[in-house]
A and B are shown apart, each in its own frame.
Chain A
Amino acid sequence: METITKNGILNIQKLRQDFPILSKKVNGNPLVYLDSGATAQKPKQVIDAVSNYYQTQNANIHRGVHQLSQEITTAYENARATVQNHLNASLSQEIIFTSGTTESINLVASSFGKKYINAGDEVLISEMEHHSNILPWQVLCEEKGAVLKVVPINENGELLIDKYKKLLCSKTKIVAVTHVSNTLGTINPVKEIIELAHEKNIPVLIDGAQAVPHLKVDVQALDADFYCFSGHKLFGPTGVGILYGKEKWLNEMPPYKVGGGTIKTVRFEKTTYADLPLKFEAGTPHIAGGIGLAAAIEYVNKIGLENIAAYEHELLEYATLKLLAIEGLRIIGTAKEKASVISFVIEEIHPFDIGTLLDKQGIAVRTGHHCTQPLMEHFGVPGTIRASLMFYNTKEEVDVLVNGIQKAIKMLK
């Protein structure tokens, strides 16, 4: 490990070599990948784990008596244990494999909603939620005649906790908020949010999609009722994600999807469902995804999330300073607590124009509303340009971005 850290300082150049795609050229320029908020790049440790699964381990899990099936079942359940340890969940059956954050939230909205939400009840979300943490609740509320309430934010993009406290009431049946805003980078005080809700016995779901690549998450310390994230934003494969849920809730909730693997006995008159976690895992899962996700978590833990957070904080400060020096540039999202995500707009220039001209220079950023249209409305912008930085990014790449923007502005003005 001496090679990747020295006195807690990461050897970024060495780490970058783990990511084959980072040496790619785009439009004739070295790729500068600043869109990790959309999906993170994959280290060869993950790529190898997935490839190795298909080459040497492929069989279906939980069913076969044969050797291969037993081996991959063990590997898949080990992957679950890896996730459990990573989140410090107390039980492995509290870890449900899903297809991603979106499915995890849909599962809870549908299944928890079926059991606990009735007409006149309230679901509380925030103004900075990704559409994936708005729509499932909106659909649920429409179905049940419940009311969707929204916690507002201030001009820095921070949740108004006073308003939140006032919105928590006897009608509130669940709170669903993001840990880190995908658009603004704001790190929400989720521990406090959960504590305040629990004072009124209201469970809380945390959308951790943007948090897990940057922060150490301990679901027991947070006392979260549900915690959701996607594998692909944590350097793992797409199509796999996690729902952590407290056992007491998951036991009470009805299955979300039903089918093979979710049952104890099936008779045409009555079916009894399997215990956790299988009750929520209908059909053959994304086995390679689970294996790859475990490899990704092991990879991240080798580097150390504390080291990652420290380096990314430095990178964020550097990028913020450099970007603010560009005339007419305004950062959207200036919370005190921020992950390494920077959204910005440039006076009189449409984000799409900047994004297009950056792409021609090999710089990958995201432009648009980032699936947070209510947030765009709040800030009165059609969209933003978002640079999301990861530990494999460098200050030199930030410089390339800044020069790229300046070049784009010159061309557009």
Chain B
Amino acid sequence: MKIVEIENEIVEEFKLFGDDWEGKYEHLIDFGKSLPLIDTRYKTDDRLIEGCQSRVWLHSELYDEKVVFTADSDAIITKGIVAILIRVFSGQTPEEIMQADTKFIDDIGLKEHLSPTRANGLVSMIKQMKMYAIALNSLQNS
């Protein structure tokens, strides 16, 4: 599936909850529980994402020309957020990731997490994923 299609799918899932924040957050927490966990040997300081109140490790690998992300966090809501991003971006080509916008976060109704001052570092996560994509892209083309 294309990035936009997955994004729309996630937006639809969250839409079901309407204004019910509890449902939304429970869904987010469930996302966190399904996060493809990072191999413990990659859980190193150089894979930590800056700007998060909780620790978030993110790892990327190129597999069959697609980027595969794994991650972990010590906070479950943060895990949920990174899991959403992984569902969107993992399995896509570096180029697609580089070009993707992430406006769908607004539509999910989690935009409070988008503010740059917000301590969970959603913005930093996206930035880091794109950085990985850029790096993997140049690796591919070299």
* Chain A residues within 8 Å of B, Cβ to Cβ: 27, 349-353, 356-357, 359-360, 367-368, 382-383, 411-412
Contacts and interface: CB of A to CB of B under 8 A. Distances in A.
A129 B53 CA distance: 20
A357 B75 CA distance: 12
Main secondary structure, interface of B, reads helix
B74 interface: yes
A359 B76 CA distance: 16
Contact of B53 (A349, A367, A412): A367
A360 B21 contact: yes
Contact of B74 (A357, A359, A382, A412): A382
Interface of B: 21-22, 25-26, 29, 53-55, 74-78, 112, 119-120
19 contacts: A349-B76, A350-B54, A350-B75, A352-B75, A352-B77, A352-B119, A353-B75, A353-B78, A356-B120, A357-B77, A360-B22, A360-B25, A367-B119, A368-B119, A382-B54, A382-B74, A411-B22, A411-B25, A411-B26
A27 B21 contact: yes
B29 A352 contact: no
B70 to A, nearest CB: 19
A295 B77 CA distance: 42
A382 B26 CA distance: 24
Contacts of A351: 53
Contacts of B77: 352-353, 356-357
A356 B119 CA distance: 10
A411 B54 contact: no
A362 to B, nearest CB: 11
A27 B110 CA distance: 13
A382 B21 contact: no
Considering residues B22, B74, B75, which has the most beta carbons from chain A within 10 angstroms of its beta carbon?
Answer: B75
B76 A353 contact: yes
Contacts of A383: 53
Given A357-B25, A368-B53, A350 B76 contact: yes
B53 A352 contact: yes
B55 A382 contact: yes
Nearest to A382: B74
Contacts of B53: 351-352, 367-368, 383
Contact of B29 (A350, A359, A368, A412): A412
